[in-house]
């Protein structure tokens, strides 16, 4: 019995090493789950490339924010970003075309999304200051 669990432990350790290697330097593993949420819920508007050019933007009267624009994103206070994601664009006097996500994400997931956006725009230092 002990031998079997030791063997399983060794297999698990190898699996962890492989998983870590699979993630590229560009795709920080700590944001893997959040990046997947973004692809599912945000990319339709904000784009698979995070540049605001999603497939669902044709005919939107206000274009989605370009999350890869370091200068523009750095000027967004983190609080405002969190609130826009949680309660929608209208809650921060922006377009209601940006939907609220509080019924989809937990508060922790919304905070992680704000961290992730700081990572995407490479202006994280400004945005991660609380």
Rule CB under 6 A: is residue 121 a binding residue for ligand HEC? no
What is the C-alpha end-to-end distance of the chain, expressed in Å? 50
User: From the list 29, 44, 78, 119, which residue makes contact with ligand HEC (rule: CB under 6 A)?
Assistant: 44
Report in angstroms how near the CB of residue 105 gets to ligand HEC at its nearest. Answer: 7
User: How many whole angstroms separate alpha carbon 16 and alpha carbon 58?
Assistant: 42
- Backbone φ and ψ of 104, nearest 5°: -105, -40
User: From the list 29, 41, 70, 91, which residue makes contact with ligand HEC (rule: CB under 6 A)?
Assistant: 41
Most distant CA atoms of the chain, gap in Å: 65
User: From the list 35, 47, 50, 64, which residue makes contact with ligand HEC (rule: CB under 6 A)?
Assistant: 64
Alpha carbon distances (Å) from 17 to 20, 26, 30: 5, 18, 15
Rule CB under 6 A: is residue 65 a binding residue for ligand HEC? yes
- 22 touches 14 (CB < 8 A): no
Rule CB under 6 A: is residue 53 a binding residue for ligand HEC? no
Q: Which positions lie near ligand HEC, rule CB under 6 A?
A: 41-42, 44-46, 56, 60, 62, 64-65, 76, 80-81, 84-85, 89, 92, 94-95, 97-99, 101, 113, 117
């Amino acid at each position: 019995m002990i031998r079997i669990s030791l063997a399983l432990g060794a297999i698990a350790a190898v699996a962890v090493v492989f998983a870590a290697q699979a993630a590229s330097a560009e795709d920080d593993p700590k944001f893997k789950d959040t990046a997947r949420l973004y692809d599912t819920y945000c990319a339709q508007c904000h784009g698979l490339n995070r540049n605001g050019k999603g497939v669902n933007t044709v005919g939107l009267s206000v274009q989605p924010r370009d999350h890869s624009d370091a200068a523009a994103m750095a000027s967004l206070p983190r609080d405002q970003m969190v609130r826009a994601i949680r309660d929608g664009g209208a809650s921060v006097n922006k377009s209601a075309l940006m939907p609220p996500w509080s019924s989809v994400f937990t508060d922790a997931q919304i905070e992680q999304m704000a961290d992730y956006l700081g990572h995407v725009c490479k202006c994280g230092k400004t945005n991660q200051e609380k």
